Amino acid sequence: MQLGKINKLKLGRTTRFASYLVDDKNNEVQLPDDFKEQLNLNDELEVFIYLNSEDQYVATTTKPLIELNRFAYLQVKDINKVGAFMDIGIPKDLLVPFAEQTEQMYVGNWYLVFMFLDEETDRLVGSCKENDFVFKDKIDIERGNTVDLLLYRKTENGMNAIVNNLYKGLVFNSDIHKNIKEGTTVKGYVKNVREDGKIDLVLEPIGYKESIDNATSLILDKLKKNDGVLHITDKSSPEIIKKEFGLSKKAFKRSLGSLYKKNIIEILEDCVKLI
């Protein structure tokens, strides 16, 4: 069984106070008695393994907010003389020692954290030093690829993101056409992979056809929800278009043109209508 990971284990035995799960090598871990479901011997469960306050392996069926060797956006639950304790959704909090912090942390605030196994103590530890845990070479993605993004820090240039839990990228302000928040996980698209390992990202598909398909779906959905009439046209302001659709005015006009050519809509002076 692996500490800090979701493990699939079988029920090996029970006592008055707890159930005990085993892996295929008969390693045993306790599942506390607050687990209420009726179990039979050899029933399989997916559980997260962590260390309790006595450094004993314990299992929980609650899915944590973070796992070993992964990033997550977490909230500080408490701070004491050794560091900040992050809420990860299970009875045991994750410690981010002062040595692994990049700024002063405050209770109630949210931060990007990477969970790793400390080789000296064999304990799960968190770190805010994301640059120590992302790959900057041998980047196995390219322009146009769809990627998973964890958005985590807004700067004057744009929004930073962890890409596929492996790399670090940036969505420039000029490419943000919808409201996005730190801590959100979204699909994104690779715009450029630089020689220094930095990745430029966008939130809309790369290429004319893909962006048209994505934008037209948004417009058609909005039309159907508004009885086939939309009081936003190609003459509307970029701010209104961005607020309603999360699209640039250029992308919006291209999609209207595509729908018009296919005889799906008609464009009037003050509105757009489904045909």
**DSSP letter for each residue of 209-235:** HHHHHHHHHHHHHHHHHTTTEES--TT
* 63 pLDDT higher than 90: yes
pTM score of the predicted model: 0.75
Looking at the chain, the whole-number percentage of residues with pLDDT higher than 90 is 55
* 249 pLDDT higher than 90: no
* Mean pLDDT over the full length of the chain: 90
The pLDDT score that the predictor gives to residue 257 is: 87
- Taking CB atoms within 8 Å and a gap of at least 24, the contacts of 38-45 are 39/11, 39/14, 40/11, 41/11, 41/12, 41/13, 42/10, 42/11, 43/10, 43/11, 44/8, 44/9, 44/10, 45/8, 45/9, 45/10, 45/11, 45/21
Q: Which two tokens stand for residue 102?
A: 């990049």
Task: List phi, psi (to 5°) of 17.
Answer: -110, -20
Nearest Cα to Cα of residue 242 among 186, 192, 173: 173
Output the CA torsion 190→195→197→203 (10° steps): -20
CATH class of the 71-131 domain in this structure: mainly beta
Lowest mean pLDDT among 82-86, 96-100, 173-177: 173-177
Distance between CA atoms of 48 and 7, rounded to whole angstroms?
A: 6
- Which range scores top for mean pLDDT: 22-31, 93-102, 233-242? 93-102
What count of residues does the chain have?
275
β-partners of residue 272 are 230, 267
For the chain, give percent helix, strand, coil, nearest 5: 15, 40, 45
Helix (H) or strand (E) holding 261: helix 249-261
**pLDDT per residue as tens digits for the range 135-194:** 988 899 988 899 999 999 999 999 999 999 999 999 999 888 778 899 999 999 999 998
pLDDT, mean of residues 199-204? 92
Alpha helices in 155-207 (DSSP H): none
A 10 A CB-CB count for 225 gives: 9
Put the strands of the sheet holding 83-87 in their side by side order: 94-97, 83-87, 71-80, 110-117, 124-127
Radius of gyration of the chain (CA): 24
Distance between CA atoms of 17 and 40, rounded to whole angstroms?
A: 16
Local confidence band at 207 (pLDDT 50, 70, 90 cut-offs): low
Local confidence band at 125 (pLDDT 50, 70, 90 cut-offs): very high
Contacts of 148 (CB under 8 A, 6+ apart): 163, 164, 165, 185, 187, 188
Fold matches, 71-131 and 146-202: yes
CATH T-level assignment (fold) for domain 146-202: OB fold (Dihydrolipoamide Acetyltransferase, E2P) (2.40.50)
* 208 pLDDT higher than 60: no
* 258 pLDDT higher than 80: yes
**pLDDT per residue as tens digits for the range 4-44:** 999 999 998 888 777 899 999 999 999 876 565 677 888 89
CATH number for the domain running over 208-274: 1.10.10.10
CATH number for the domain running over 6-60: 2.40.50.140
Show me where the domains of the chain are located.
6-60, 71-131, 146-202, 208-274
